């Protein structure tokens, strides 16, 4: 009797273990679970001292239309190396505890949520003022040149805050990085440095302005209750990523939800997706990784347009969709030489006959003309 109870207990324990294991595998990770978080903008600035705890709430959008779900990040992480061996340089406002603005911290948090095994480095370029903050283009040039001095293989540079003015050597620094094998990602605009008088296309006013080698990212929406778009159109845009409702980290290391549609956060997300692709395909060149990102994007109903580039990033498709094989070029067919004309043994005879015929015909004609003259002479004699 006791043996039966022991067997029954063991069976229950085994069943509970199986059910627990299945629920663990099927449940979302901490980054995607429905949890209480503060809005990231609640800690937008560092005023010194201990920050007051902000009010928390659950994710502002349902799980099914949250940014990471739209880009299929959870599935992509399961089939990737999660950024292992990849370095991501965060060129932003800074993400240390002494940073004055929250952009860089949220960007770094997004990258870490998407590619947790990637190594991040901090490269602050924002000058925070009481009334207005500006991006230091000279400092950005120095940071990029410093990165270019090292090994650029497996390096992704995320420029979350583009400058509004050029600086000597800025585009050259980007070119050096890309030629050495790095991937440079840049936000299409930054609302903190735009004005109401900006043109319809902000591309000429965003720096660095090296279009071809840079992955330029704009931000897209998630669902109907999103706040109004604040991004400006940029004709250099290559891809877009949704940001509203994404899980990240505040300026002080606390979990938060992104409560805006912001290109600087979208570029961070794309940098994280690129890290997933590159870490899983370590033998690929930077251009191969970029091409893979572009060729696997997907649109969303009611969204899209002229300034969306290839479309919304799809991390899972980038990692799993079979590559499209290029059609083999038809073999070159050597043109056959022109056939030689066969020698005609009677050609000379025919040619002489023609000339004799012409001469004979001319003589005959001349005789017919002169015949009346000779006839009159004979009659007069």
Average pLDDT, 10 consecutive residues per value, the chain (381 residues): 46 38 32 73 81 82 89 96 97 90 94 97 90 89 95 95 92 95 92 54 86 86 73 89 92 88 95 98 96 87 64 95 62 53 58 64 62 54 50
pLDDT of res. 364 = 63
**H/E element, 37:** strand 37-39
Calpha distance 42→19 (Å, rounded): 39
Calpha distance 88→114 (Å, rounded): 12
pLDDT of res. 10 = 45
List Cα–Cα distances, 244 to 47, 157, 221, 248, in angstroms.
25, 23, 7, 11
Q: Where in the chain are the domains?
A: 69-320
* Phi, psi for 370 (deg, rounded to 5): -85, -15
Instruction: Give me the CATH topology for the region 69-320.
Output: Rossmann fold (3.40.50)
List beta partners, residue 38. 56, 256
Which of 122, 106, 88, 120 shows the shortest CA–CA distance to 45? 106
- What's 95's DSSP letter? -
Calpha distance 79→349 (Å, rounded): 86
Q: Which regions of the chain does DSSP assign to beta strands (E)?
A: 37-39, 56-57, 87-92, 119-124, 126-127, 134-135, 155-159, 183-187, 214-220, 239-242, 247-249, 255-257
**H/E element, 23:** helix 2-26
pLDDT of res. 209 = 85
Residues 6+ apart with CB under 8 A from 283: none
- Tell me the three state secondary structure of residue 123: strand
First to last CA, the chain: 169
Measure CA 272 to chain center. Answer: 12
pTM, to two decimals? 0.76
Calpha distance 306→31 (Å, rounded): 33
Residues 6+ apart with CB under 8 A from 295: 310, 324
């Amino acid at each position: 009797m006791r043996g039966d109870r022991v067997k029954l207990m063991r069976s229950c324990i085994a069943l509970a273990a199986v059910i627990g294991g299945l629920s663990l595998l099927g449940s979302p990770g901490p980054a995607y679970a429905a949890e209480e978080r503060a809005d990231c903008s609640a800690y937008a600035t560092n005023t010194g001292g201990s920050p007051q705890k902000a009010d928390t709430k659950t994710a502002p959008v349902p799980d099914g239309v949250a940014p990471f779900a739209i880009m299929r990040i959870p599935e992509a992480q399961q089939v990737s190396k999660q950024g292992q061996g990849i370095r991501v340089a965060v060129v932003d406002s800074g993400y240390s505890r002494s940073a004055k603005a929250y952009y860089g911290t949220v960007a770094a948090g997004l990258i870490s949520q998407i590619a947790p095994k990637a190594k991040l480095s901090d490269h602050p370029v924002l000058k925070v003022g009481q009334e207005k903050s500006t991006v230091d283009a000279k400092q950005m040039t120095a940071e990029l040149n410093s990165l270019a001095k090292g090994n650029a293989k497996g390096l992704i540079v995320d420029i979350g805050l583009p400058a509004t003015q050029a600086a000597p050597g800025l585009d050259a620094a980007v070119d050096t990085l890309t030629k050495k094998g790095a991937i440079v990602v840049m936000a299409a605009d930054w609302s903190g440095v735009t004005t109401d008088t900006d043109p319809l296309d902000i591309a000429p006013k965003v720096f660095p302005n090296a279009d071809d080698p840079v992955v330029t990212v704009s931000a897209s929406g998630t669902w109907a209750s999103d706040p109004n778009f604040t991004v400006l159109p940029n004709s250099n845009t290559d891809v877009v990523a949704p940001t509203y409702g994404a899980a990240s980290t505040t300026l002080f290391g606390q979990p938060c939800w992104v409560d805006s549609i912001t290109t600087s956060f979208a570029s961070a997300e794309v940098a994280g997706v690129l890290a997933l692709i590159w870490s899983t395909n370590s033998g690929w060149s930077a251009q191969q990784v970029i091409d893979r990102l572009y060729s696997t994007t997907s649109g969303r109903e009611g969204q899209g347009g002229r300034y969306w580039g290839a479309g919304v990033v799809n991390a899972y498709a980038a990692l799993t969709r079979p590559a499209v094989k290029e059609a083999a070029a038809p073999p070159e067919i050597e043109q056959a030489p022109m056939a030689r004309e066969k020698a005609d043994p009677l050609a000379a005879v025919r040619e002489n006959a023609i000339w004799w015929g012409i001469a004979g015909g001319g003589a005959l004609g001349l005789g017919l003309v002169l015949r009346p003259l000779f006839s009159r002479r004979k009659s007069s004699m």
